Structures are given as structure tokens and as C-alpha cells.
Structure 1
Amino acid sequence: MEKKLKSIGICFLLIFVLFPYHKGFASSSAISTGDSTIDGRPVAWKNRDHWSTPDGWKVIPYYYEADQTSFGTGDRYKSRFNYMGVTAKGSSGIDPITSTQVPWAGANDKGLGLVQVAGHSLTSSFAQENGFPISQDLEKGMTGGYLNHLILSRAEHIDEVEQILRDTNEGGGFNQSSARNTSTIISVFDRWGNAATFEIDGDSFTRDNVTKEYAQNANGDFADKHDDDKDIENPYDGDYSGFDWRTNFSKVDWQKPNGFPYFVDNQKTEVINNEVVNNGNTPDGIHDWEYSSSAVMRHTRAGIRMDDPFKKDYRYFIQKNVGSHALGTKYDIESLSKNIGDLPSQNKSTGYHLNRFVSTFGVVLTGSKIDDPYDGKLTTMWVALGEPTVSIFVPLFPYAGKPPIELNDMYQKINEKRKQVYHYTNDEACGYSCGRNEIHEIDIQALTGGKYYGEGGIQEYTFGIENWAFDQYDSFIEDLRNGDRDHETLKAEMAAWQKDIIKTMKTHYINETTP
């Protein structure tokens, strides 16, 4: 794609949206451009929390093949790209209007990667409770999950994401709707080195270009302002730089024509005795009208790790040996995906941590470098098909096609490990605190052997398996990058490699051994 002109008129949009807001949808996410990583490849991370459907923990990867179908009169792109998505069996993975399988995170074969979190402060119910009109079409509008599917199957540049959002603000011809049925926040990267975060309700959205590394100020607050970039000139391809993160509330300072403010924070927000407390006049971007103490705590913890002075790579988001700053100089392993805070000698509740007793999967997307060959086809999806603390992240290439059959029951194998750290008898979730979610405390002895991350217990062999896979992957991706394969050969080698790696990883995981 040629470099775009810096003008409003040529803004295109990429949209990625998850399901409409429900009390069962939370999550944390982060994104880093290649300029802020070690090897120049962008990285996006997501941890999903879900407890509103009984089988939402039965997570699987799936492959979608483009079929040139259209969702309605406003569909300018049609289904044109294949993608790899992460979904779940049962109702939570199916769009209720179209019966289409929908993704919660994923990447397509053109190098577009996306992750998502629910937007609690963008819901129609939230707006109405605070005196503003409903913006979603709650009956006929496209759901966030279906919108995710549209983005991955239609967009290759983040400006096309924006265009899709513009085209669907008034329904886009979908199902005779007047607007979307969405309240979500997505972060997206593309193969040209660009990254942005979109905050989306039913009939409007904001665009927050990733152009800086957000850091704590002298008072320890993440108080930098996030402006809406959708109607101003965007950076040229490759000029994006930095990192950003989200939990479950909007951070972009923008007001809808009806007066509804996306960004409502005008105070410093703290959590005291598990309650959100606002005071002073220091905007910190984490006040969503006192809606969620968990979201505030998780936002701060994600920010601290993103603010760690080490440059990031995909391993950092999963688990990596580094000279730690975020957890103090005593420790040497950093992680977003598996973090449950400092590890005491006794059991601890994980309700307010990045990885929680309601977490159902983790995903880390590694994009292509700007000068990589194959037009984005080296993009990789590392996925843990269960709660990340006890899972292994396995590598998948969206371009390689259908995922190996070894992953069809991986969620069951991970659930067996989860039972060693969370004690429950009912596998089905029946809410936030019943069934598999009834016990909120994790068994530290079983998880780490009473030591630190990766030093004992379940994590000793899971970290060992992943470290072996990291070495295998780094060698393979370097060979691919320096090679000169035709696309069919590339696809075949990717498919064979990932099948062998995943088979080995799964075998060791079941046997509790390390390659």
C-alpha cells in the first residue's frame, strides 16, 4: 500500500469490536509498536475474563476462509482476507443474528492483528443511567463479536478499520439496523508499523493513535491525556511509535454531539479497601464513574509493566527472564499474561489481578517488521487456551491455515491443570462466584512450589516448555525472514512446523516434563 496522504479525507478505518457489554465481560489488553520492541515487530496482548456463559472457558482457535460475502449495503470491502481467531464452543462464540463464528482476538494473513476489551463506560445502559440517550441498536445491530469478524476479514490497514467504523455508525445496511450493538475497545496493528486503539459505542467511536510510551508521572499517576485522532492528520506509515493499554473504560477525551463524554475522569482514582475512591483534581484515565475497582487495579498493574524500562518483545508479554523493575530488583521474571502480583507463601485471591480466577485465555500477537518479506504473513499468534497461569502459549501462523487438531481438546487438558490450583467440582461457570468460579483463591504451592514465577510447581515445567518453544520459534522465524520461498512453500512449511511444535509442547505439558 502506498503511503497515505496526511488528510482527513483519506482516513480509512479498521474496526474490531467484541460482544455487547455484559457483566460477564472484562479483560485487559496492551499494544506496543515495533519502535518500542527489541526486534522491531509490534506486539499486542490480551487476557480475557468471562463468566456469563457456562461453556465460555472451552476456548479454541479457528480458521476463517474469505468468501466474498457482504453484510449489507455499507460493506465496501466484502469478505476478502483469511484469518485465525480465538473463540469458544457454545453460545459465547456464535453471533446470535448471523450464527457466524466470531473471534475475541486474532490476526489475518495480511498482517493485521487485533485485541479487545469490553467498554463498560460505553454501554447504552451506562449512558442512560447517567442521563444520556441510548446509542446502540439493541435488537438489530451487529454485535461486537461479529464486528471483530468483519474487521479481520476485511481490513489490512488501520485506516481501513476506521473506515469500517464510519460505514457502520448508522448500521451499514446490516439487518435493517440503525446503529451497531457494540460497546468495546480494540487495539490494532498492521504490517506498515502502525497501531491505534479504538473506543466504540453504537453510533460513534474514537481513535487513539499509538505515538508515545505512556509512563507514570512524578506522582505515580498515568495522567497523560488521550486525544481523539480520527478527524486529524494521522502519522505516515511507519511513524507510529510507543505503547498503550486498556482495561474496561474509555480514556480518550472526546464528547459526543449529545453531550455524552467518552472520557469522564477529572479526579485521581485509587482503590482503598477494594472500593474505588476519587479525590483531588488529577485526571489519571482510570475513573469510569466508580464502576469497577477491579478495572482500576488491573489498569494500574498493566501500566506498571508497560512502563518497565526494558524494551518489549513477545516473550515479555508471556513470560521472560529480565532484570525486573516493575516488581523490584529481587525478582527476575516479568509477565503480563501470567501475572497475579507478588507471590506470598500462602494462597491468595486473584480477583483484582491481570490473570484472574475468571480468566479464560491469553493471546499474544507478534506482527511483521516493516521490512519483513511476505506482506504480513510472518505474523504469529501465541495463544493459551485456558487460564494463563497454568497454561502454555503455543505458536500459530494465521497464514498456515487450519490449526492443528492437537488443539481441539487443549482447553480440557488445561482445565485439568487448573484444578490443581483452584478447587472446584463443577466445570461449568454459572456466574462470577459459582461453579468453576466459586473459589477465588489460588494455591501458590501447587502453582510455583512456594517459590517465584516459573521456579517450581506447575509453572516450572510450563515455563520450561515455553522457553524451549521460544528458541525454536526464533530460529524458525529468522530462517523464514532470510529465505526466498514462494507462498505455497511458505504456507506448507509453517503448517508442518507449528504442528510438530504444538504436538511436542502438548505431550510435555500432559506429562509434566520439559523438552
Structure 2
Amino acid sequence: MPRRLEAGHTVSHNHGIRSPGHHRHFLLTALQVVILLLAGFSIPLPSALACTTAVLSGRATADGRPILWKNRDAPNPRNEVALLTDGPLRAIAVVNAGSRGSVWMGMNEAGFCIENSLSKDLGDGEKHDGPGNGSLMKRALQHCRTVEDFRQLLEETNETGRSTVANFGVIDAEGGAAMFETAATSFTMFDANDPETAPNGYVVRSNFATTARELPAWPEANQLEEVYSGERYLRACRLIDSADEGGLSLEYVLRHIARDLADPQGSPCTGSVNGPEGALPSIVSTDATISRATTVSAAVFAGVRPGEDPRLTTMWTLLGDPKFSIAVPCWVPIDSVADPLAGEHGAEIGEAARTLRDASVISGTKDITTDLLPGIWQDLWPLEDELLQETNGLLETLRNGGATIDAAVASELTRLHHELAVRAWQAMQTELQEARDARLHPANSPDVASTDGPVAEGTVRVAIYDHSEGKANGPKHLLQFLTPNAGFEAQRVTPEEIRDGVLSEFDVLIMPGGSGSSQSKHLEEAGRKAVRKFVSQGGGYVGICAGSYLASSHYSWSLGLINARVWDRAHWARGNGQVVLQLAPEAIEPLKADAENLEVRYAQGPLLVPDTKPDLPAYEALATFNTEVAKKGAVPGVMCGTHAIVRSIYGQGRVICFSPHPEVPGGPNQVMAAGIRWAAQPDSE
């Protein structure tokens, strides 16, 4: 029989404190999923449910102060830090960029900290009203001072309604530390200070709830074999248990847990922070590791001991994937969030980390290439150690002085926060430049294709792709100057006509602007195969903007006509504007350019860098971006130096790709026409 603790609460078989009316929630059945989908409800796929969290009581830490940690995996990669000043308690939190309705981890002036991991198995298949996971956490930050306050909030919303399916981790300034498995009308509390619930002083959760699956509070490996995220739960427990006997430190959680890389069997990767010395594997699968290809941010909250000023509680924030980012301290009393941590399109540090990770993720997978990581760690981690040392020094001085957070102390915290954020941002900018240069000059690049040869001088028959039924501007612009008087016979062709073999009647296919993925989808596999065959047998391919994305070897939907990756794919929607290109000296005459600097319209075309596909020759770079467009959260300094016009050979055919738009009125159209003539190549007879 369960043991009675207090009125309305019982201890379950898994040693958690359950709320009144608690009922077990089981996994959604296939029928329930179908019903929800038909009703229009969204069922997140398992790949999106990837947060990993831990609540560490003072019993488990080296200094006796509680620690709260979360690696956030979410579909929205743009995060920022925001001050929340519209409630009874002032707070600071990590939010989706530009949004303040929900928070995903944060703390308030009372020293209360909260985070969550999504646990869909707590759902009952019904639609519930009331605050969801993120909005409940915002309410908690604005109203709760202690773990007990949060428990009472859950009691109240058991009755008034909420739409939560999550494991909420919380700590407070009085030493409280607990995890709450929280459904829509019930919850179970796991107290990290209770030796029966948490023998080692901590509670870990990933994306399952023990109560939903009738598991003990500390499930064993054999009980989690079929449970999604069970391997991450076990990995986090192993890492915590392997810490020094003196207890866990903030530094250990930041470096060894948040950035863990392990293989599917849970063994740390050689060369990683937890692995044996040696070289990292060239490719790491992140399916079973804590730091994943889908991790968008992380936070480690360093709490205070009872009696210490709660506003010295520190949120160490890692925006972006932790293994590509650097931690910066944040405090509630600061008067403003430092610029590198804030931004309606994503904070600069986080967006820089996105660019670095994007340069490493293998398209269409959760695998990453690791060639950039050793250099990033070698540069960022010593700086992060300096930030930790300086922060700990200031906090120790404030604690020893018994200072309250008056205006002078708040000013000092603000100064340090801004100063350290700027230093972190400067370091991230350096990493971006070094990573871009590494991608521009890959070590294992194949030989460059020979692009010499005669250019077509007679009439060139040009097929202009168009699936818009004549509405798209790109074909209209091309038809204005690809005229018979200029030596061209040009007409639109549809994807259906391409599948039916119409390209045999033309010398060149132009894939204009629009959407590369949409072009690929409309072509279908038969059309993509027809384009490859046309080019390999001697036809010409001209890609403009979207057509260059399509020609690249980067995406699963790409044609693979040219050995090119897209640099900073994470910020492909970087805005429109005029840019200046730097032409290679040997490209000026073939492109009929007037000078080596060329001004042209840019509209979110690919920033091309070499790929290393062994079955494709390396391309020839004809022009690089000399100026840039960096809007919508794109990081400044990333675009310059990448390739804007490239050409190569595919089989017997020629391929030329323009990232910008020389085909628009004002062009320069002669550059476009010259590229088309080169791609056409003369008949061999």
C-alpha cells in the first residue's frame, strides 16, 4: 500500500509525490493519433522531442548550491535571452526569438529557476485548454518564489486547466530542487532532496515520464530499451555519476554534460570532452548523444545556498548548439540583455553557432562531420574558462561582502554581463571566419575540371524552366534579352515537358530563380533524371539563384551537377539587395564584364563553397561576393569571400551557376548571355 505523506498526496511505487486525481497516462494508440490528426491537432515527431534535463540538489554538488540544466532540442532554432518585466517578479529567460508569450528556461529575482523537457506520453489524446509548457513556465517565473509555490501552481491548474505534457525541473534559493512529471490535470513530484526518491541527490529526465510508463523513479537500462530518449537519460545519469567524488560542479555540467558526444552504445567518442585521447571520428551520429544536431540552446543555472542573496543566481546561457557555442552568464538584475544575446531574428551568438553547425551537418541526416570541432574547442573553451573564472571571482566578492542587489551591484553585474558577451561574440566571429576559410579551401578537394574550350557563336536554343504558368518574373526577364537578334531562340518549358523529353530540342536549360526545392519537387524523379541525362550527354545547364541551389551537391533534392555546398544554409533567407562581386581576372573576358568589380542584384541565392564529392570534379570560381546582405538574423561577415559565380563540367556537358541575378533589367545582362553561350558549347562537327 502507498504511504500517506500529507492530505491529498501519496507516494507511488516510483517514489514520486502525486497530485490528487492523478491517473496514469499511456502512449497514444495509433487510433488516437489518427483521430487527432484528422481533427487538426499537431503530433510532434519523436525527432523534435529531444530535450535532456537534470535537477541537482545541493547534496549532489561540490559547493552545496543546487544546479539546474537543460539541453534544448526544438524545431525553432532561433533563440534569444529576454528580460521579463511585465509580472510581479522580474525574470530573465531563453525564449524563441521575437516571442515573449512562452519561455523555455529561465529564472526570477527570487532565485527560482525552471526548465522543461517535452514528454508526449503524458498526453491522454484529448484537447485541453489553459497554459501550455512554455506559457506555464512564464507564469511560474512571474509568480513563484519556491519549489513549493510551483507545486501549488500545479495544484491550482489541475482544477482551472492547462495543456501541459512535460517534465518540469525547478530549483529555488531555499535549497529546493525537484522534477515534476506534469500532465494536463495531474502531476507527480520527484524531490531531489529526498534520499528515497533521489538516492544520489539528483533527478534526470529526457522525453519520457516514468509515471506514464509505470516505471520506477530510477529506471534501469533493460526497462528503457524500447523507450524513445531512454539512451539519453542513461547517458546523462552515467555522466553525473562519473563526476568527481567531491560532487558536481557548474563547470563539469557545462563542459562534460551539455557537450557530450557518444556513440549509439553510449560510449564517449574518441577525441571528445568525455572520450579517450585521439582523433574524433570523421562523422558522428547524434541520435543517441546529449549534444545533438537538433540542439538549439542550453542553460545551466547555478543556484545559491539558503541565506545568500537569491539574485546572485546565475544563468549560464549557451545559444545555439553547445558544441559550437560558448556560455555567457546572465542575471536578473541586469538593466539590459547584451546585444550578442538578443535579437528578434535570433541572437548573434546563437546564429553564429547555427552557421557553424550547419557547415558540419550532413544534409538530410542527424550526422555531423567533425573536422571543425577541434579548432572550435581549442579556441572557445579557454576563453569560456576565463569567463567562468572572472564571474566566479565577482560572485565570491559579492557573497563575502554580504551585499544586497542595490543599484551599484546591479550596475556591476550589468557591466560584466555585457563585457563577457562582447568577448564571446568576438570569439564566435573569429570562428566563423576560420570555418568559412576552411570550407573555401577543403583539404580533400578533387581536381578542378577543365572549363576551357570554344564558345557557341551561332544561334543558341534555350529552354527556360517555368512551372508557374507564365507568372514568374525570372523567365520574363530572360526572354527580354534572349532574342533572335541577340542570337538566341528561347522558350519556356514545363516540368511535364522535361519529363517527356523536350530537352533534346535545346542546347541549354536555364533553371531560374524561385525555390530550388520546389523546382525539384515539380520535376519529380523522372524530370531530375532527364536533366542529368541531358547535361551528361553534352547539354548546358545555367542555374540562377534557386537553380544554383538545385544544381549543387548539398541537398537531398539537389541534382548534384556541380561539386558545391551551400555555406550558411541556416540563413539562406538573408534578404535582398545590391551587392558587388569580385571577378577572377581570368573571368572578365569570358563573362564580357566591363571591370573586375560587378554590381548585381542579390535575392537570397546560395553562398557557394566547394564540396568534396569524389565523383564530381571541383568547380572553377569566376566571382566572389565582395559585399554582403545580412538581414533577418544572418550574421554579418559570413557572406563576403564566398563564391557567387562558378562553373564546371558534368559528363560531356557544361554547368554554370549564378547566385545573384544578372538577368534582371539593368543586369548586367551581357554577363548572363555570356554564361549561357559558354554553357551551350558549339557542335562538335
3-state SS of 1:46 partner: strand
The residue type equivalent to 2:69 in the other structure is W
Q: Give the 5 Å matches for 1:56-75.
A: 56-67=76-87
CA gap of 1:107–1:341, structure 2 versus 1, over 3 A, is farther
3-state SS of 1:413 partner: helix
Larger Rg: 2
Structure 2: how far apart are the matches of 1:110 and 1:266? Answer: 29
Structure 2: how far apart are the matches of 1:194 and 1:13? Answer: 17
The residue type equivalent to 1:445 in the other structure is D
3-state SS of 2:159 partner: coil
1:304 maps onto 2:238 in alignment: yes
1:46 maps onto 2:54 in alignment: no
Does the 8 Å CA contact 2:270/2:280 hold for their aligned counterparts?
no
1:447 maps onto 2:373 in alignment: yes
Q: Give the 5 Å matches for 1:6-405.
A: 8=7, 22-23=44-45, 24-51=48-75, 56-67=76-87, 80-89=88-97, 93=99, 100-125=100-125, 134=126, 137=128, 140-171=129-160, 179-211=161-193, 226=197, 242-252=201-211, 261=212, 263-264=214-215, 284=223, 286=224, 290-292=226-228, 295-310=229-244, 311-319=247-255, 344-372=280-308, 374=309, 376-405=310-339
- Cα RMSD between the aligned structures? 3.6
3-state SS of 2:107 partner: strand
Which of residues 393, 397, 404 is equivalent to 1:475? 393
CA gap of 1:21–1:317, structure 2 versus 1, over 3 A, is farther
Q: Which residue of 1 aligns with 2:593?
A: none
How far is 1:386 from its partner?
0.3
The residue type equivalent to 1:169 in the other structure is N
1:412 maps onto 2:351 in alignment: yes
Higher relative contact order (CA closer than 8 Å, sequence separation 6+): 1
Structure 2: how far apart are the matches of 1:355 and 1:66? Answer: 33
Does the 8 Å CA contact 1:120/1:249 hold for their aligned counterparts?
yes
Does the 8 Å CA contact 1:106/1:115 hold for their aligned counterparts?
yes
3-state SS of 2:282 partner: coil
How far is 1:9 from its partner?
8.3
Residue deviations 1:138-184 (CA, integer Å, cap 9, x gap) = xx32211110111111111111111000101122xxxxxxx211100
Does the 8 Å CA contact 2:102/2:138 hold for their aligned counterparts?
yes
3-state SS of 1:110 partner: coil
Q: Which residue of 2 aligns with 1:257?
A: none
Aligned residue pairs: how many? 385
The residue type equivalent to 1:314 in the other structure is L
Residue deviations 1:408-433 (CA, integer Å, cap 9, x gap) = 22222222222332255xxxxxxxxx
3-state SS of 1:399 partner: coil
Residue deviations 1:170-223 (CA, integer Å, cap 9, x gap) = 22xxxxxxx21110001111101111110111111011111367xxxxxxxxxx
Structure 2: how far apart are the matches of 1:331 and 1:43? Answer: 28
Q: Which residue of 2 aligns with 1:434?
A: none
Residue deviations 1:30-54 (CA, integer Å, cap 9, x gap) = 1211222112211111001113xxx
3-state SS of 2:184 partner: coil
3-state SS of 1:26 partner: coil
Structure 1: how far apart are the matches of 2:403 and 2:428? Answer: 33
CA gap of 1:330–1:313, structure 2 versus 1, over 3 A, is same
Residue deviations 1:252-278 (CA, integer Å, cap 9, x gap) = 4xxxxxxxx5525799875xxxxxxx6
Which of residues 403, 410, 418 is equivalent to 1:491? 410
Does the 8 Å CA contact 1:63/1:402 hold for their aligned counterparts?
yes
The residue type equivalent to 2:407 in the other structure is E
How far is 1:384 from its partner?
1.0
How far is 1:251 from its partner?
2.1
Structure 1: how far apart are the matches of 2:278 and 2:430? Answer: 28
* More helix by percentage: 2
3-state SS of 1:35 partner: coil
How far is 1:120 from its partner?
2.3
Does the 8 Å CA contact 1:340/1:356 hold for their aligned counterparts?
no
Does the 8 Å CA contact 2:104/2:116 hold for their aligned counterparts?
yes
